[in-house]
């Protein structure tokens, strides 16, 4: 039987640029500066919410919210690499939700 509505799951490492990031708390105490730039970008956004595409820039441009927040990185992937690195920690520490 063929299910015409079948959709493959997300590939490991693939990014859903339409996923919505919502800030739910700010960190307390010592916190990595680059992760802090994610928080700053969300604080500057309307309703403290951005899509992943808005956060990292879907084309890797400097127009990403992270770059506008002053992110400095030597990573080749720029904002995308920083987001990928800190995403899980920010969720686990209940600072953001991604839906």
Q: In what order do the strands lie in the sheet with 49-51?
A: 49-51, 20-23, 96-98
Evaluate if residue 75 carries a pLDDT over 90. Answer: no
At residue 7 the predicted structure's pLDDT band, cuts being 50, 70 and 90, is confident
Locate the domains of the chain by residue range. Answer: 32-98
Q: What pLDDT score does 11 carry? A: 54
Residues in the chain: 99
List pLDDT tens digits, range 16-41.
889 999 999 999 999 999 999 999 99
Where is pLDDT greater, at 44 or 8? 44
Evaluate if residue 64 carries a pLDDT over 80. Answer: yes
Where is pLDDT greater, at 50 or 7? 50
Q: Strands 20-23 and 96-98: what pairing? A: antiparallel
Q: What pLDDT score does 35 carry? A: 95
């Amino acid at each position: 039987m063929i299910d015409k509505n079948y959709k493959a799951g997300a590939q490991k490492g693939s990014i859903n640029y339409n996923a919505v990031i919502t800030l739910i708390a700010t960190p307390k105490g010592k916190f990595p500066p680059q992760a802090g730039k994610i928080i700053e970008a969300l604080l500057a956004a309307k309703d403290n919410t951005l899509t992943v595409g808005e956060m990292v820039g879907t084309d890797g441009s400097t127009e990403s919210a992270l770059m506008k927040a002053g992110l400095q990185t030597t990573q080749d992937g720029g904002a995308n690499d920083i987001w990928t690195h800190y995403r899980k920690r920010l969720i686990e520490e209940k600072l953001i939700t991604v839906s």
